[in-house]
Amino acid sequence: MENIENKRRKKYNDIECVPVGFANGVAGDFPLSAEQKEAMIEEAAEHFGRFLTALKCDWQNDPNSMETPRRVAKAYVNDLWKGRYSPFTEITSFPSDGYDGIITIDKNHTSEIVDFTTFDETKALYQTGKGNDPRGSITFMNDGRAVISLFMDEDLSTALHEFGHLYWKAMTDIAALPNASEAIVNDVKTMRAWVDASVDDLTSH
CA distances from 140 to 91, 121, 159 (A): 32, 9, 15
Residues 6+ apart with CB under 8 A from 104: 111, 112, 114
Predicted pLDDT at 170: 86
Burial of 7 (0-12, 13-18, 19+ CB in 10 A): exposed
Over range 132-152, report the average pLDDT. 77
Judge if the upstream peptide bond of residue 31 is cis by omega within 30 degrees of 0.
yes
Domains of the chain: 4-91 (1.10.286), 101-195 (no CATH)
pTM of the model: 0.44
Residues 90-112: tens digit of each pLDDT: 766 655 554 444 444 444 544 44
Region 187-192: mean pLDDT is: 86
For range 143-159, the mean pLDDT: 78
Provide the mean pLDDT of the chain: 76
Burial label, 60 (beta-carbon count in 10 A; 0-12, 13-18, 19+): exposed
- What phi, psi does 118 have (nearest 5°)? -125, -15
pLDDT at residue number 178: 92
At residue 99, the pLDDT reads 46
> pLDDT (tens digit, 9 = 90+) per residue, 117-129?
455 555 556 666 6
Q: Does pLDDT of 78 surpass 80? A: yes
- What distance in Å separates the CA atoms of residue 155 and residue 119, rounded to the nearest whole number? 25
pLDDT cut 70: percent of the chain above it: 66
Between 51 and 172, whose confidence is greater? 51
